[in-house]
Amino acid sequence: MKMQGLTKDTDGFISKHINRKFSTKISLFLVNSGAKISPTGMTVISFFISILSAVLFCLDKPLLGGLAAQLSSILDGCDGEIARLTNSASKKGEILDSILDRLGDGAIIMGITVLAYEYSHLWKDFLPGIDFRVLIIILGFLALMGSFNISYSASKLKESAGLEYRRIWAGRDIRLFLTMMAGIFAEFLPKSLLLFLL
């Protein structure tokens, strides 16, 4: 089986130029090797890795948390690729993928918020008089709502007008790539984690 047709026109920048280079190889290997893994199975695996990312952030392991988030993003492309390779795409699978993506995103944002809250004392000398703990909770909530709103708006646009919203610069691939970068920077410069929530 070939890679042709595995990508999508709606792929974001990171998906197109980074994630697909890995996910297509993984999908082709799994299908060609006869591995008994369904698109739904890959969706669930990607979801649990995003939960692992959230847990790692909570445990003050930002580097590993960021890398897990990016791995989840790469594997998130495999379910659709496997479905197309095996002609097993379904509406139910698409809905499950969307739901678990949102839950995974929410978990990661909460994990980062928890870690940023733990780091709040690092910023108290930067702007005296500001309770960064409250600010971090507010920013975490806004990040969570923003993540959900982008996906909801895209879904409503497709439902009402039949149009695909091309989230080239605001898609899940970009958000999880930035999460990885935030984790890398936070490992060596904890103060930088607040910038991700901004």
Answer left, alpha or beta for residue 7, where phi above 0 means left and psi between -120 and 50 means alpha. Answer: beta
* Spatial separation of the C-alpha atoms in residues 102 and 76, rounded to whole Å: 12
| The pLDDT value given to residue 93 | 92
Spell out the CATH class of 13-196. mainly alpha
- The predicted-structure confidence for 65-77, as pLDDT tens digits, reads as follows 999 999 999 999 9
* Predicted TM-score (pTM) above 0.75: yes
More confident residue, 31 or 131: 31
**Could you count the other beta carbons within 10 Å of the beta carbon of residue 8?**
16
Under the banding of pLDDT at 50, 70 and 90, the label for residue 123 is confident
Q: Report the C-alpha gap between 80 and 97 in whole angstroms.
A: 9
Tens digits of residue pLDDT in 151-163:
666 665 555 655 5
The kind and range of the H/E element at 36 are none
Asked if residue 27 has pLDDT above 80, the reply is yes
The yes-or-no verdict on residue 3 having pLDDT over 60 is no
Among 81, 72, 76, 69, which Cα is nearest to 98's?
Answer: 76
